[in-house]
Chain A
Amino acid sequence: MAQPLDKAHFEALMAQAGLDLTEAEKDGIRAASAHTQAAAARVRTPREVSVESATIFTLKGAGA
C-alpha cells in the first residue's frame, strides 16, 4: 500500500482547493490519500516514450 501524502504537501493541496478543514478531517482525508497514491502508481505502467495519451482528438473536416 502506498503512503499517504506528507502533511505539508496535503495541506498545500487543500489550501489550493480552498477547503477549510478541521484537524480531524485533515487526518482522515490525508490517510485516505494513500488509496489515490496507490492508484496513481499502478496506472504508471512501462510505456514507449512517444506513446500517445488518450486525450488526442480527431478533427472532422467539412462533409465528414
Chain B
Amino acid sequence: MTSFPTIASAARDIAAKRISPVELMKDHLARSEKLNPALHAFIRFTPEIALEQARAAEARQAAGALRGPLDGIPIAHKDIYETAGVTTTGHSRVLEHHVPKMDSAVVRRWREAGTVMLGKLATHEFAWGGPSFDLPWPPARNPWNTEYFTGGSSSGTGAAVAAGMILGGTGSDTGGSIRGPASLCGIAGIKPSYGLCSRTGVLPLSQSLDTTGPMAWTVEDCALLLDAMTGHDATDPSSANRPRPDLLSGLNGGVRGLRIGVIRHFHEDDCKVSPGMAAGIQHLTSTLAAQGAEIREVKLPPLADFNAAGWLILAADAYAVHETWMREKYRAYGEFLRERLAVAATITSADYLQAQRRRRELCEAVTAVMADCDLLVTAAQPGEARPIHQMTKWASFEVPNFTIPFNLTGQPALTVCTGFGAGGMPVGAQIVGRAFEDATVLRAGQAYELAAGWRAQRPAMAA
C-alpha cells in the first residue's frame, strides 16, 4: 500500500527526524517519473535542484535549524512562474527557450521556506489556451481517469497533487484556474484575496484578475503553503500593503456561528449543475450546519452577468498582453489560444470600459450580500470532469463559469472536495469569503474536510 503523506504530516516527521528530506524527495521524484508518461503533469524535471535543496533541508534537519513546516517538502511550480536558470515557457512554443534570470517572488518565498522543487508543471498555454494537442508538450491528464480533462489552467498542478507526485504546488487563477482543476482533480486549492500574494515574475494573463495561489491535497496544506506566499511586495503594484494575515492559528476553530450564504440560483437556475455536484454542495452545507454554522440562501445578480464582465475583461487584458507576439509569432501559438486571442481583438474600448463599470456594480452587489454573511457557497464547476477530447476551443465562452465572479470581486475562494459523482470522478464546491478574510475561508474548508472524510481516497493509478 502506497503511503501519501500530507505537508502537515511530512513536516511533523521531518521535525521529529523520522523521515529524511532526501529520501522524501527521491520517493516523490521516482513516483513522478513513473506516472508522468501517463499524466503529463510535468513538462520538465529538475532533479539536480531537487537533490541540492533536499540535501540542504536535511542538513538543517540534522542541525535542528529547520525553517518551518515547508522545509524539505517536495513541490513543483506551474510553468508560468519564472524560475532562475530553469526554462519557463508558459507551456508555449513562443517562450520555448526562455530562461529567466530571477525567481518569481512566490518561487523565492517558497525556496526560502525550504521547499524542494521537483520541476515545472504543465499549464494551459499562457494560462488560457488548452487543453491543446499542438503545443511542444501534451496536456495534463486527470489521474482519476486519464481519458478525462483536468480542468485548467493549473492542469499539471491538479494532476500532480492528486496523483501524489508532489505534496503541493503553485497555481494561478484569473477566471478559476486554481479552483477548476482542484474540483475536477479532487484536491484543495485557494484563490487568495487579490493583492495578498505577489505576482512578480509570473507570466500575466489579466493583471486586474490574475491571482497566485497554492494547490494541495488538503485544506490544511493549502494554508501552510499560502502562509509562505503572503506579504507585501513593492515590486507588484497590485500587492496589498497590509500586515500578513494569521492563516494558521485559527484553522481548527470550527464554524459555529458563521453565517453562510448559499448562492442557490447560480447552481440550480443560472447553470444547473450535475447531480453529483449538487449532492456535494448539499453535503457541504449540511455538514457545516451540523457543526453550528447558520445556512441561508442569498441572491446575487445572474451568473451570466458576472461571466459577461469577467470574460470581456480577461480577454481584452490577455490580448493586450499578447498583442505584439500575436502579430509577430501568430503561428507559434497553439490553435486554441491564438484563436481565442483573435476573438479578443474584436473587443472595443467601449466594451472594455462598460465591462469594468459593470464590474463595479457587481462588486457592490456582492458586498451588500456579504454584510450579513461571513461566507458564500456555490459550485466550483458545472459537474464532473469530461473526456479531454470533448473540450472545445470556445468552451471559455460557451460554458458558464462559477469561479470568475470572485476574480471580478477579488474575494478569497477555496475549492474543497465534496465527494464523487458520475463515473467516480471527484466534485468540489467553492467557499468564498470577504476580501482579506482568507483565514475564515480556510477554517470553514478545514472543518468540512475533516468531517467529510473524502481525503482517504486517492486515484487508483497512484496506489
Contacts and interface: CB of A to CB of B under 8 A. Distances in A.
Contacts of B304: 42
Nearest to B398: A35
Contact of A29 (B311, B342, B347, B358): B342
A53 B309 CA distance: 13
Given A13-B346, A35-B398, A42-B304, A25 B339 contact: yes
A39 B357 contact: no
B357 A40 contact: no
Contacts of A35: 311, 343, 394, 397-398
Interface string B383-394: 000000000011
Nearest to A18: B327
A54 B347 contact: no
Interface stretch (B182-190, B348-356, B454-462): B348-356
Contacts of A14: 342, 345
Contacts of B357: 43, 47, 51-54
Contacts of A53: 353, 356-357
A47 B304 CA distance: 19
A35 B393 CA distance: 13
Contact of B346 (A10, A20, A28, A47): A10
Determine chain B's interface SS by DSSP, over half rule. helix
Contacts of B28: none
A38 B308 contact: yes
B360 interface: yes
Interface residues of A, number: 30
B438 to A, nearest CB: 24
B212 interface: no
Given A17-B327, A53-B356, A36 B398 contact: no
Contacts of B297: none
B323 A17 contact: yes
Contact of B308 (A10, A32, A39, A54): A39
B345 A17 contact: yes
A36 B346 contact: yes
A19 interface: yes
Nearest to B344: A36
B342 A21 contact: yes
Highest count of chain B CB atoms <10 Å: which of A16, A18, A29, A33 = A29
A43 B353 CA distance: 10
A55 interface: yes
A36 B358 contact: no
B361 A28 contact: no
A45 B358 contact: yes
Contact of A19 (B311, B315, B327, B358): B327
Interface string B302-322: 001101110110010000000
Contacts of B348: 40
B326 interface: yes
B359 A40 contact: no
Nearest to B340: A32
Contacts of A5: 346
Interface of B: 304-305, 307-309, 311-312, 315, 323, 326-327, 330, 339, 342-348, 351, 353-361, 393-394, 397-398
Given A29-B343, A54-B359, A55-B353, 12 more contacts: A13-B345, A16-B345, A17-B342, A19-B326, A29-B339, A33-B346, A35-B311, A40-B347, A43-B351, A43-B358, A45-B358, A54-B360
Interface of A: 5, 10, 13-14, 16-21, 25, 28-29, 32-33, 35-36, 38-40, 42-45, 47, 51-55
